[in-house]
A and B are shown apart, each in its own frame.
Chain A
């Protein structure tokens, strides 16, 4: 099975907050990432967090890391239609390789 797991779909109303969840298995992961993929495009790095941090905030984005439960979440405040995309969680393996989840498709409805 996947080393990194995410729910596949999330539907959210415009203006509400979105929360995307991810679990990972490698306790030695030093970096954890959130990438965004819009239709027909490559992956764009949104944010990342070091494993010695619990939280990171960057404008509308808040990342929470629970190392005990190996759980990572991404909260998007005031979700807009431009936030509709696939969001990938990834963990960094020891030699710079990334292991990705299957991606969460976020649909923002008016």
Chain B
């Protein structure tokens, strides 16, 4: 009964490095999302997907890319890490308007 699984849980990057945050769900949900959470700011939507092969930008997509080749997986890619991308990243999936969240990836860029 895994739900939404995110890896890694923690990561420190140097400025300019790239990495992929992994997200997988086992509930066969069509909708998947990436949010970032900054202190006192709530969650901001980065990208979302309504099904395999379909992605769209959210509120804060700059500096990120996504892909959705399967229903289960929705990886988030940072190509050139910047200090402004230090945040906690949450992946979620939804069915019937109920979001299920992963436990988050805490990313620091130094």
Spell out A's residues near B (CB within 8 Å).
2, 4, 8, 30-31, 33, 35, 40-45, 48, 88, 92, 95-98, 100-103
Spell out B's residues near A (CB within 8 Å).
4, 31, 33, 35, 40-43, 45, 48, 50, 58, 90, 92, 94, 97-104
* Distance in Å: Cβ of A96 to nearest Cβ of chain B: 5
Does A97 lie within 8 Å of B48, measured CB to CB? yes
Q: Known interface pairs A42-B90, A96-B94, A97-B58. Does A103 touch B42 (Cβ–Cβ under 8 Å)?
A: yes
Does B41 lie within 8 Å of A92, measured CB to CB? no
Does A43 lie within 8 Å of B90, measured CB to CB? yes
Please name all residues of chain B whose beta carbon is closer than 8 Å to the beta carbon of A44 when the two chains form the complex.
101
Contact of B31 among A30, A96, A103 (CB under 8 A): A96
Does A48 lie within 8 Å of B102, measured CB to CB? no
Does B43 lie within 8 Å of A100, measured CB to CB? yes
Does A101 lie within 8 Å of B101, measured CB to CB? no
* 3 residue pairs, one from A and one from B, having the closest CB atoms: A42-B101, A100-B42, A102-B42
CA distance A4 to B55 in the complex (A): 25
Does A43 lie within 8 Å of B101, measured CB to CB? yes
Does B103 lie within 8 Å of A42, measured CB to CB? yes
Looking at A45, A48, A100, the one whose CB has the most chain B CB atoms below 10 A away is: A100
Q: Known interface pairs A42-B90, A96-B31, A97-B33. Does A4 touch B101 (Cβ–Cβ under 8 Å)?
A: no
Please name all residues of chain A whose beta carbon is closer than 8 Å to the beta carbon of B100 when the two chains form the complex.
45
Please name all residues of chain B whose beta carbon is closer than 8 Å to the beta carbon of A8 when the two chains form the complex.
40
CA distance A29 to B90 in the complex (A): 23
Does B94 lie within 8 Å of A102, measured CB to CB? no
* Distance in Å: Cβ of B105 to nearest Cβ of chain A: 10
**Could you show 14 A-B contacts with beta carbons less than 8 Å apart?**
A30-B97, A40-B103, A41-B103, A41-B104, A42-B101, A42-B104, A43-B92, A45-B99, A95-B50, A96-B94, A98-B99, A100-B35, A102-B41, A103-B42
Does B97 lie within 8 Å of A92, measured CB to CB? yes
Please name all residues of chain A whose beta carbon is closer than 8 Å to the beta carbon of B103 when the two chains form the complex.
40-42
CA distance A44 to B99 in the complex (A): 9
